[in-house]
Amino acid sequence: MIKILKKNIKETIILILLSSFFVLASTVGALLIAKSLDFLLKQNFYQFLYYILLSFIAWISGLFSNYIRRIKEETLTQKICTDLRSAAIKKLVSEFSSNSKQDKFVNYDEYVNLCTNDIEIISDGIGCFFELVSILSGVIFSSLALFSFHYIIVLTSILLGLIILVIPKFFDDKISDGINNVSEKYKELQSNSFNMINGSNILNNYSSLKLMLGVIKNHSISLGNDKITLEKNLSKLWILINFLNTFSQVLLIFISGWLAYNKIVSYGIIISVGNLSNQLFNSLQSFGEVYSKYILSKSILRKYDLDLQVKKVDKSEMIFSDKIITSNLSYSYNNKEKINFPDICIKKNGKYIIIGESGTGKTTLMKIISSNLLSYEGNIFWDGKNYKEISSQLIKNSIACVSSDDYIFNMSIRNNIILDKKYDAELLYDVIKRTKIEDFIKDLPRGLETELKSNNLTLSAGQIQRICLARALYSERDLIFIDEGTANLDIKNSEYIEKELFLDSNLTVVMITHRLNDNIAILSDNIYTL
């Protein structure tokens, strides 16, 4: 957490000063009130009024500083959260793209959770840091102010403060165990709920919905019992701390009243002690809870180890001037049966077809050549340079891949095609025409600006596939892989688009398919069978 705040050192220092000033203003206000009462008892009304006015100014200044602090704190928090989300996405991409064992499982849920729930916890942690500053300031300023009074008040404050700080330690194990139990039971409930819901059709077919309800009910009851136990322990601690807090304030007011009655201190001190003890013990009371939240947010940050350094994404491309060839290429999933691929040669601006039945490794070959699978055996050469000597990202930047299950983002058709590439109206019109997107966008109310939802698509699978093909063409990559990329199109549109691509003398195209179109086959430079 400190590391993050250091990256925003100016804002952090300002917030620390504002947090401290608010507490200081409250402390000064309490002391001035005591002073004003002393003058009132002496029947010096003008001095009384003067100190009341000063106390009011201190109070208003504190409120104003706190207002500024809250706004600046939220501004800084949201900036950091935005940076963390960006860092999470960069780490996900890096883990997916740059790992030498590319085919390993990537836990997407973990990153989704970071960008949502965990970020909110971290957000609370940032606020807790500045709250801890306020608490520490409250303890320091209140203690210093109380030290200006009688030693009995000071010693009593120290003793009671230590008791309030120590008491929560006796509940640490019970509360910690309770939180862990609730967390585990919640995970079990979530896991079993998902399991039952996913299999609800089967349960329904077998008239076994009672099983689903019973499993979820049992886990829910178990979770509920653990939450009740946790709440009992938290409530016991809350009652005890609140009792000690109230008792401490009353005791200090009693002591200061006794001292004033015996003319050892002035009567104005009673009010000051009341205000300052309230500030001191409330700060001590909230310390444990705030500190726990702060520690939790720190642990989440350590878990993900995010780099908040702003780094430019390498979008450079390699120049494809000659050919890509493979030599003795093979691959095995999870150390099972090895797939051996034929040696292939992809020349610049050439047109190639890779044909084979399902499961023969066509898609795997595409992933290897496009540097999406790195743990292969054998060699691949790009213009004579071995893939193993080239940055994986550079290869990715030079190859576009289209598949039958390509992805659509929650954005307009236009932006799904362009992504973050510079807008070129002429190029966009050209790819729309070549992929026959204009055939259906003219019937859409918003045309290219029609918003798409990945989970609720308003277009057919064939229309979506054409958008993905347009995306590949708009990227102007050196090589385009089409893995069953026209499978969802009708024969007429499929043949039109494939012919359009194969007749383009400036494109290097590799088409992966399980069915051979004779009209397209005659346009290819070579056909490889797997």
Residues 278-295 have pLDDT tens digits of 777 777 767 666 766 666
* Rounded Cα–Cα distance for residues 309 and 306 (Å): 9
Q: What pLDDT is attached to residue 193?
A: 73
Residue with tokens 């990256």: 7
Residue type (1 letter), 462: G
DSSP labels, 198-241: HTHHHHHHTT-HHHHHHHHHHHHHHHHHHHHHHHHHHHHHHHHH
State residue 209's pLDDT score.
Answer: 67
Q: Which CATH architecture has domain 323-529?
A: 3-Layer(aba) Sandwich (3.40)
What is the pLDDT, as a whole number, of residue 381?
92
**pTM for the complete prediction?**
0.58
Residues of the chain with pLDDT under 70: 1-3, 88-119, 148, 150, 165, 172, 198, 200-209, 266-268, 285, 287-289, 291-317, 335, 454-458, 485
pLDDT (0 to 100) of residue 98:
47
The Cα 21–Cα 14 span in angstroms is: 10
| DSSP count for the chain of H helices, then E strands | 18, 10
pLDDT tens for 202-261 read 666 666 667 777 877 888 888 888 888 888 887 887 788 778 777 877 887 788 788 877
Q: How far apart are CA 338 and CA 333, in angstroms?
A: 8
**Looking at residue 380, what is its pLDDT?**
92
